[in-house]
């Protein structure tokens, strides 16, 4: 139908702009919310995704990568003995508090201890410093985006972690989980030191009436100790968090996973992808973050439908005489629907493009200025286009109902 | 390179005309119309019989409220009468389905309105193109025919102006060109001169008459306007829902 739809759209420029602003708003809200959710959930599993392990061995109580119970370091040797395992390396996640002399802030930290020389956890996106420096005791590499939080300037800066000194020896980019405490990548020895500092423990056991042993661990603060103790290597009796496993070439990962789970006591064995997915879906659903961000996106759709619906409806209402004239002339209902729907499609496409451009701009800006990842994947971009089109065409419903009711017999009476 | 232009359906004129010349192009038999008004219906048309000869220009006159517009609406296939039959070009239309009737109007009837009913967002030419598009004539061919029609109503140089830039008389000429698009055998108009001054009103109807005669179309015009009496072949007078007299036009051509 020639250009009725487009001309009608542009006939009332202010109204058109309001519609476009509404659609842009909806597109932006949906895309940004989805992007934050995607960026957020992706960030929670970054450490897993970037490890070179095929398989992770964790406590059988594991809830997600960071929320789990310790397992004995002794399992490392046992794992290495399982046929099909080429390499097994420990990963130790701790928790600590960062303070900087002269400032009052206390920052919760997540020390992540690994073998700096190891093969299965290679720190990625290093932008300054040197991984080898982690072999020095009480050193850590942090994400650039964490510097502000830590009141730190950069490489060489120092602070206190759990009353021990800590020196920043390197910086990374895009390694921080948005859901977590500030990551401090370090050697397993340093991580162990931060995890146990200030506490010495002894195990006391006593036989109970059933003839079994009741054991309890007793912690005592070493307030007498002065000076910085030397770090100690990982020992059989230490606790670690995960075992990273590389399978021998050609191994069936499924079978190896089964084997490890049978051989090692009280563990849960997952492939890297399973662990990453478990962690992502935990944060997406169990925390309600997905729901809240989804709610925001849903709100975008509702606002979009309301605005576009209202604009289309009033545009049709203003043109009832024209639609009636077309009907009298013999246009079918579908011809008229096509005009309305074409308007809706133009609105959706013309609102989507600047909306998506705005989102891409915002995501670049957010990453650069705040370290917040708004991840706009091609799937998201196409999905949002689909939603926008569906939203605009769907909101044409009332306009279409109105066009249907137009009575051509009234055409001589207007 | 040879550019082949699509053949224009020059001769697809009277696609559904099955009437003989002896029969009228528009024939009504015992047409009654009543509208519900509270508990009682008011009868607006009380048994109309008429026959309008093919190729003639027929005026329908009468006092306000006598039922002229209602009758025109029925005769144009836009409203189903409560009783009676209407035959257009030999087709009984009161029993047709809505969809079929719509198709029939598209192929056979051109409409002209008191308020012109042009689309304000479209130029003069585009307004005519829309009518052609509905009749499945598209693109360059529609454009060419639209400009031709505008030429016939003397507005070729106004083709790219919107209705808001045209005078009332010019707007009605565009509307006439639109009604003539696709050369429908029937043209109906309700008070086409009411919004025009006396001179352009007369000129407009004279133009309509000439073009209709050239194309062999039958024209039915509802009017109050005594100044266009001389344009008509016949005049029907309606009073209180009944035809009171049927005149040969006072001034013959
Ligand atoms: N849809 C309707 N519902 C109820 N009554 C109607 C309807 N359409 C027309 N009427 C009534 O039918 C009568 C005839 O109206 P109509 O418009 O046909 O008169 P008219 O001869 O065209 O008058 P005018 O010269 O003022 O245009 C009027 O009394 C009008 O109120
Ligand atoms: Mg009337």
In a shared domain, residues A296 and A361: yes
A284 DSSP β-pair partners: none
In a shared domain, residues A235 and A306: no
Q: Into how many domains does chain A fold? A: 2
The DSSP result for A70-125, as a single string, is -EETHHHHHHHTSTTEEEEEEEEE--EEEE-TT---EEEEEEEEE-TT-SS-----
In a shared domain, residues A121 and A211: yes
* pLDDT score, position A272: 96
- Closest by CA position to A309, among listed A353, A354, A344, A346: A344
B198-226 core/surface letters (b: 16 or more CB in 10 A; e: else)? eebbbbbbebbbebbeebebbbbbbbebe
In a shared domain, residues A116 and A30: no
Q: Select the residue of B78, B99, B129 nearest A408 (Cβ to Cβ).
A: B78
Model's pTM, two decimal places?
Answer: 0.77
In a shared domain, residues A219 and A310: no
pLDDT of B6-28, one tens digit each?
433 433 344 455 555 567 899 99
Residue A376 · residue A363 · CB < 8 Å: yes
Q: B102 at the A interface (CB within 8 A)?
A: yes
Residue A249 lies in a domain: no
Question: Which residues have CB under 8 Å from A317's CB, separation 6+?
Answer: A402
Interface test with B, best of A318, A408, A412, A414 (most B CBs within 10 A): A412
Q: Which two tokens stand for residue A182?
A: 């500030």
Residue A246 lies in a domain: no
* pLDDT score, position B219: 96
In angstroms, what is the span from residue A414 Cα to ligand 1's centroid? Answer: 12
Q: Is B44 in the pocket of ligand 1 (CB under 6 A)?
A: yes
A228 or B153, greater pLDDT: B153
* pLDDT score, position A304: 86
Q: Is B73 in the pocket of ligand 1 (CB under 6 A)?
A: no
In angstroms, what is the span from residue A412 Cα to ligand 2's centroid? Answer: 7
Low-confidence residues of chain A, pLDDT below 70? 1-2, 198-205, 215-226, 414
Cβ atoms within 10 A of the Cβ of B70, count? 24
Q: Is the dihedral of CA A143, A148, A149, A154 positive or negative?
A: positive
In angstroms, what is the span from residue B195 Cα to ligand 1's centroid? Answer: 19
| Angstrom distances, CA of residue B35 to CA of A81, A324, B60, B193 | 96, 21, 21, 28
Residue B94 C-beta-side C-alpha neighbours within 13 Å: 18
A37 Cα to chain B: minimum distance (Å): 44
Last residue of a domain, one of A175, A208, A240: A240
Question: Which residues have CB under 8 Å from A251's CB, separation 6+?
Answer: A54, A84
Residue A86 lies in a domain: no
Contact list in A for residue B122 (CB cut-off 8 A) is 2-4, 7
Residue A274 lies in a domain: no
In a shared domain, residues A190 and A130: yes
A14 Cα to chain B: minimum distance (Å): 15
Q: Which two tokens stand for residue B203?
A: 């000129």
Q: Which two tokens stand for residue A5?
A: 């739809």
CA nearest ligand 1 atom 6, residue: B35
In a shared domain, residues A218 and A108: yes
Parent domain of A225 = 95-240
Residue A408 lies in a domain: yes
Residue A74 lies in a domain: no
* pLDDT score, position B118: 95
Q: What is the DSSP letter of B34?
A: E
Last residue of a domain, one of A240, A275, A299: A240
Q: What is the DSSP letter of A285?
A: I
B106/A408 Cβ within 8 A: no
Cβ atoms within 10 A of the Cβ of A222, count? 13
Q: Which two tokens stand for residue B190?
A: 């309700």
Q: A332 at the B interface (CB within 8 A)?
A: yes
Interface A–B counts its CB contacts (< 8 A) at 75
B72-89 core/surface letters (b: 16 or more CB in 10 A; e: else)? bbbbbbbbbbbebebbbb
Residue B22 · residue B11 · CB < 8 Å: no
* pLDDT score, position B44: 96
Q: Which two tokens stand for residue A184?
A: 């401090």
Last residue of a domain, one of A220, A240, A260: A240
**CA B103 to mean position of chain CA atoms:** 16
In a shared domain, residues A27 and A100: no
Q: Is B30 in the pocket of ligand 1 (CB under 6 A)?
A: no
In a shared domain, residues A316 and A230: no
Mutate which of B67, B240, B242 for ligand 1? The one with the most ligand atoms within 8 Å of its CB, which is B67
| Residue B241 Cα: closest atom of ligand 1 | 14
In a shared domain, residues A19 and A123: no
- Report the alpha-carbon distance of residue B99 to residue B87 in Å, rounded: 17
A311-341 core/surface letters (b: 16 or more CB in 10 A; e: else)? bbbebbeebbbbbbbbbbbbbbbebbebbbb
Q: A318 at the B interface (CB within 8 A)?
A: no
In angstroms, what is the span from residue B190 Cα to ligand 2's centroid? Answer: 7
* pLDDT score, position B17: 56
Q: Which two tokens stand for residue A219?
A: 């912690």
To which residue do tokens 């995501």 refer? A363
**Phi, psi of B105, rounded to the nearest 5 degrees:** -60, -45
Q: Which two tokens stand for residue A27?
A: 């597109």
* pLDDT score, position A64: 94
In a shared domain, residues A103 and A178: yes
Which of A30-39, B64-73, B233-242 shows the lowest mean pLDDT across its residues? A30-39
In a shared domain, residues A100 and A220: yes
Q: Where are the beta strands (DSSP E) in A236-308?
A: 239-240, 242-247, 267-271
In angstroms, what is the span from residue B68 Cα to ligand 2's centroid? Answer: 6
Residue A280 lies in a domain: no
B243 DSSP β-pair partners: B238
Any idea which ligand is nearest the CA of B46?
1
Residue A20 lies in a domain: yes
**Phi, psi of A144, rounded to the nearest 5 degrees:** -50, -40
């Amino acid at each position: 139908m020639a250009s009725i739809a487009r001309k009608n759209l542009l006939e009332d420029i202010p109204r058109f702009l309001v519609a476009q602003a509404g659609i842009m708003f909806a597109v932006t809200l949906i895309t940004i919310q989805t992007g934050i959710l995607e960026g957020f959930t992706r960030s929670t599993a970054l450490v897993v995704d970037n490890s070179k392990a095929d398989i992770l061995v964790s406590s059988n109580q594991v809830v997600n990568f960071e929320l789990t119970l310790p397992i004995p370091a002794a399992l490392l040797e046992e794992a290495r003995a399982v046929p099909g395992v080429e390499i097994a390396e420990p990963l130790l996640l701790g928790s600590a508090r960062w303070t900087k002399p002269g400032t009052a802030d206390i920052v919760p930290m997540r020390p992540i201890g690994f073998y700096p020389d190891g093969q299965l956890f290679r720190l990625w996106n290093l932008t300054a410093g040197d991984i080898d420096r982690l072999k020095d005791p009480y050193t850590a590499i942090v994400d650039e985006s964490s510097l502000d939080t830590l009141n730190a300037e950069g490489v060489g800066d120092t602070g206190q972690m759990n009353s021990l000194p800590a020196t920043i020896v390197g910086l990374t980019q895009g390694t921080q989980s948005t859901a977590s405490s500030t990551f401090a990548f370090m050697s397993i020895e340093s991580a162990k030191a931060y995890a146990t500092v200030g506490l010495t423990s002894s195990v006391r056991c006593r036989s109970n009436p059933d003839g079994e042993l009741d054991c309890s661990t007793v912690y005592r603060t070493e307030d007498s100790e002065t000076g910085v103790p030397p770090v100690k290597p990982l020992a059989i009796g230490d606790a670690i968090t995960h075992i990273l496993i590389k399978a021998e070439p050609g191994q069936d990962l499924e079978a190896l996973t089964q084997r490890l789970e049978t051989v090692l006591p009280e563990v849960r064995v997952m492939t890297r992808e399973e662990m990453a997915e478990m962690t992502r879906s935990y944060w997406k659903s169990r925390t309600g973050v997905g729901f809240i961000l989804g709610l925001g996106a849903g709100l975008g759709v509702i606002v979009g439908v309301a605005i576009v619906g209202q604009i289309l409806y009033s545009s049709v209402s203003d043109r009832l005489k024209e639609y009636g004239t077309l009907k009298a002339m013999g246009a079918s209902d579908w011809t008229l629907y096509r005009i309305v729907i074409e308007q809706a499609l133009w609105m959706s496409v013309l609102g989507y493009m600047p909306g998506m451009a705005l989102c891409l701009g915002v995501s670049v800006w957010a990453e650069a200025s705040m370290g917040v990842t708004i991840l706009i994947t091609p799937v998201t971009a196409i999905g949002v286009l689909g939603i926008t089109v569906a939203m605009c065409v769907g909101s044409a419903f009332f306009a279409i109902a109105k066009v249907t009711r137009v009575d051509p017999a009234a055409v001589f009476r207007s | 390179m040879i550019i082949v232009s699509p053949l224009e359906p020059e001769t697809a004129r009277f696609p559904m005309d099955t009437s003989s010349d002896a029969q009228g192009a528009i024939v009504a038999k015992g047409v009654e119309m009543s509208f519900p008004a509270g508990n009682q219906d008011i009868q607006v048309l009380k048994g109309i019989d008429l026959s309008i000869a093919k190729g003639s220009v027929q005026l329908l006159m009468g006092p306000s409220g006598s039922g002229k517009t209602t009758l025109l609406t029925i005769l144009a296939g836009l409203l189903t009468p409560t009783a009676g039959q209407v035959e257009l070009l030999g087709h009984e239309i009161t029993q047709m389905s809505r969809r079929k009737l719509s198709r029939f109007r598209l192929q056979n009837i051109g409409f002209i309105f008191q308020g012109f009913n042009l689309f304000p967002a479209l130029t003069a030419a585009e307004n005519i193109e829309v009518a052609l598009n509905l009749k499945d004539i598209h693109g360059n061919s529609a454009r060419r025919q639209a400009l031709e029609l505008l030429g016939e109503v003397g507005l070729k140089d106004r083709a790219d102006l919107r209705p808001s830039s045209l005078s009332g008389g010019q707007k009605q000429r565009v509307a006439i060109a639109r009604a003539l698009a696709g050369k429908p055998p029937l043209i109906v108009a309700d008070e086409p001169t009411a919004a025009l001054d006396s001179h352009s009103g007369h000129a407009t109807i004279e133009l309509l008459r000439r073009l209709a005669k050239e194309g062999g179309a039958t024209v039915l015009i509802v009017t109050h306007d005594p100044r266009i009496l001389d344009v008509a072949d016949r005049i029907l007078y309606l009073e209180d829902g009944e035809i009171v007299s049927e005149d040969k036009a006072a001034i013959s051509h």
